[in-house]
Amino acid sequence: MLKALVVFGTRPEAIKMCPLVLELAHTEGIESRVCVTGQHRSMLDQVLDIFKVKADYDLEVMRPNQSVNTITTSVLEKMEAPLAEFKPDVVLVHGDTTTSMASALAAFYQQIPVGHVEAGLRTYNRYSPFPEEMNRKLITALATYQFAPTEGNRLALERESITEHVYVTGNTVIDSFQYTIQNDYRFKEPALAGHDFSTRTILMTAHRRENLGLPLENICNAVVALAAQHPDVSFIYPVHLNPAVRETVFSILGGKERITLCDPIDVEDMHNAIGRSYLVLTDSGGMQEEAPHLGKPVLVMRTETERPEAVEAGTARVIGVEKDGIISAVQELLTNQALYQKMSTATNPYGDGHASERIVAILKGLIKKDSV
């Protein structure tokens, strides 16, 4: 019997790990448990409810005004109990969060193999995204099993001399659409329920640490200008709960015509909103993977991306964080139908929706071999 402990703590992690949790739960020969850290509390719980996943362990690390230091030390300390009680054969962590890095380190200290889901993403700038770029490099060093979403991610690991137990699986976020997308979906968020998606709608998110301050001001001012220049276009912006984000966003965009601001929305609302929007404007990593699956062009408001596959495939463009550059890139997609058609019909490079199945099958075979 393979014993697998799945650990996550943020909303994006939960969206990508819940399909894997569900696959583990109904796979014969596997006993799996879920440990959540609560790094994001309310947003995490929303995802668990939608996927009907129940946590076996809840570390409840979230504190007011928490820092990266406090999250790291709290997760590292509190992971001791579930590891000691369950004694897993493998601990599965995701991506690049502080939860994942600290959990991987806690497992390593107990000499428990770590499986890194979404391994091999790199920007090669240790401070962008911060602290995610360094987190994922540390997890790579700690992990025994590397589950790379794409061939490009595998090659990135190979360049770092990581070649053993590296497997290309696709991205588990694509698996999640089978649980979230509905043709007759009714939005729960009132701002979305009352929105006319028959008009061209730009769905946007912006919240990354490196974009706080002037870059986020540039983003918001670009949106004000675009709304004024294109009266047939509207914007929907679910605003992150970070006070530093909300202060900037509401001061610049609050009360502006055809710019709808709302609180963060759950994954069902988000996926269905992406599907009904005209294009996506974001600094998020996950939306660079999600929107192409739904045929929506993605404009990435960052200076680099750890997801170059989307750019190479033609589904995404990195447009920076300068006001004029953002305006120019959005206007081009709004006015150049040939470019829009090319981006919206490009092949999604992130898989076929069976990544979780591949990871489970690989784990069963590997753990069995390693225990012989």
| Statement: residue 79 has pLDDT above 70 | yes
Q: Quick check: is 142 in a domain?
A: yes
Cα dihedral value 268, 120, 307, 156, nearest 10: -160
pLDDT of residue 87: 97
**Per-residue confidence band for 370, with pLDDT thresholds at 50, 70 and 90:** low
CA distance 134 to 271: 29
Q: Quick check: is 176 in a domain?
A: no
Interval 248-260 mean pLDDT = 97
- 60 labelled catalytic: no
Output the CA angle 307-297-350, nearest 5 degrees. Answer: 40
Query: Which one from 40, 94, 207, 307 is the annotated catalytic residue?
Result: 207
**Per-residue confidence band for 367, with pLDDT thresholds at 50, 70 and 90:** low
- 94 labelled catalytic: no
Interval 311-339 mean pLDDT = 97
151 and 38 part of one domain:
yes
**Per-residue confidence band for 368, with pLDDT thresholds at 50, 70 and 90:** low
Beta strands 233-238; 57-58: pairing state: unpaired
332 and 359 part of one domain:
no
219 and 245 part of one domain:
yes
Q: Which residues contact 35 (CB under 8 A, 6 or more apart)?
A: 5, 6, 7, 55, 56, 57, 58, 59, 79, 82, 103
Interval 340-363 mean pLDDT = 94
**Regarding predicted confidence, which is higher, 364 or 80?**
80
Query: Which one from 11, 40, 240, 271 is the annotated catalytic residue?
Result: 240
Enumerate the H helices of 61-150 as residue ranges: 68-78, 80-86, 98-109, 132-142
| Statement: residue 299 has pLDDT above 80 | yes
| DSSP code of residue 209 | G
pLDDT of residue 372: 40
CA distance 34 to 54: 7
Model pLDDT for residues 199-220, shown as the tens digit of each residue: 999 999 999 989 999 999 999 9
CATH classification of the domain holding 11 = 3.40.50.2000
99 and 229 part of one domain:
no
| Statement: residue 9 has pLDDT above 80 | yes
CA distances, 255 to each of 7, 250, 371 (Å): 40, 8, 61
140 and 217 part of one domain:
no
Share of the chain above pLDDT 90, in %: 88
| Statement: residue 34 has pLDDT above 60 | yes
| Statement: residue 307 has pLDDT above 60 | yes
* Domain encompassing residue 165: 2-171+352-371
Share of the chain above pLDDT 70, in %: 98
pTM: 0.88
The closest alpha carbon to 339, from 327, 331, 347, 351, belongs to 331
Residue 172 tokens read as 């588990």
Model pLDDT for residues 103-154, shown as the tens digit of each residue: 999 999 999 999 999 999 999 999 989 999 999 999 999 999 999 999 999 9
The closest alpha carbon to 21, from 285, 365, 357, belongs to 357
- 230 labelled catalytic: no
Q: Quick check: is 178 in a domain?
A: no
Query: Which one from 165, 209, 246, 276 is the annotated catalytic residue?
Result: 209
From edge to edge, which strands make up the β-sheet containing 114-117? Answer: 57-58, 30-36, 2-8, 90-94, 114-117, 145-148, 166-168
CA distances, 112 to each of 32, 54, 88, 104, 115 (Å): 15, 23, 7, 9, 10
pLDDT of residue 61: 87
Decide if 112 contacts 139 (C-beta within 8 A).
Answer: no
pLDDT of residue 66: 81
Identity of the residue numbered 59: L
Q: How many distinct structural domains can be found in the chain?
A: 2
Q: Quick check: is 295 in a domain?
A: yes
Which H helix or E strand runs over 21?
A: helix 11-25
- 269 labelled catalytic: no
Q: Quick check: is 185 in a domain?
A: no
Number of other CB atoms surrounding residue 342 within 10 Å: 13
CA distances, 10 to each of 39, 56, 114, 196 (Å): 6, 16, 19, 31
Decide if 255 contacts 237 (C-beta within 8 A).
Answer: no
Residue with token string 């799945």: 6
- Annotate 128-190 with DSSP letters as a single string: SSTTHHHHHHHHHHH-SEEEESSHHHHHHHHHTT--TTEEE---HHHHTHHHH--TT---SSH
Model pLDDT for residues 173-201, shown as the tens digit of each residue: 999 999 999 989 999 999 999 999 999 99
126 and 145 part of one domain:
yes
| Statement: residue 321 has pLDDT above 50 | yes
Query: Which one from 13, 58, 132, 309 is the annotated catalytic residue?
Result: 132
- 217 labelled catalytic: no
Strand partners, 205: 282
Decide if 301 contacts 287 (C-beta within 8 A).
Answer: no
Q: Quick check: is 200 in a domain?
A: yes
SS3 content of the chain, % helix, strand, coil (to 5): 50, 15, 35
| Statement: residue 41 has pLDDT above 80 | no
85 and 111 part of one domain:
yes
Give Rg (Cα) of the chain: 20
If you average pLDDT over every residue of the chain, what do you get? 94
- 209 labelled catalytic: yes
Query: Which one from 13, 96, 306, 309 is the annotated catalytic residue?
Result: 96
Cα dihedral value 119, 105, 26, 291, nearest 10: -30
